[in-house]
Amino acid sequence: ILNVEQSPQSLHVQEGDSTNFTCSFPSSNFYALHWYRWETAKSPEALFVMTLNGDEKKKGRISATLNTKEGYSYLYIKGSQPEDSATYLCAPPNSGYALNFGKGTSLLVTP
C-alpha cells in the first residue's frame, strides 16, 4: 500500500480565485497518477490519468502537472466557480491497477 499525502486538507476560496492542491506519493515503482473529482453521493469523476514525468494535462479550467522523480503532482483550478466545490482525490495505482487514494482536498468555492 502506497503512502499518499494530499494538502491542504480543505480549502475555502472566493469565486474567481485560482487555487492549487498538492499530491505527494512514493517516487519508486511509479505507474501512474489518477486525479478524481468527487461530490458526496455522486460517482467520483475521473479528471486525469498521468503517466510521464513532466506531464501536463488540462481540462477546461483545471490542469495538472506531474513530477515522478520527486513524487508529487499539482492540480490547478483557474477562476474557481461554485460548481467546482468538491473533494479532489489523487490516486497512484499499486502495481498498475488498484488505486491508492489520498484523503483528498475538500474545496469550497463561495460566490
Distance CA 44, CA 53 (A): 25
The three cell numbers of residue 3 are: 503512502
Using CB under 8 A, pick the residue from 70, 83, 96, 111 that binds other proteins.
Answer: 96
Using CB under 8 A, pick the residue from 23, 36, 84, 86 that binds other proteins.
Answer: 36
Segment interacting with other proteins (CB under 8 A) among 7-15, 20-28, 62-70, 101-109: 101-109
72 close to 23: Cβ distance less than 8 angstroms: yes
Distance CA 60, CA 39 (A): 18
Distance CA 42, CA 51 (A): 26
According to the binding rule CB under 8 A, does residue 51 interact with other proteins?
yes
Nearer to other proteins among residue 18 and residue 58 (C-beta): 58
The number of C-alpha atoms within 13 Å of 21 and in the hemisphere containing its C-beta is: 29
- In the shown chain, the binding pattern of residues 65 to 94 toward other proteins, with x for contact by CB under 8 A and - for none, equals ------------------------x-x-xx
* Binding residues vs other proteins (CB under 8 A): 4, 31-32, 34, 36, 41-46, 49, 51, 89, 91, 93-104
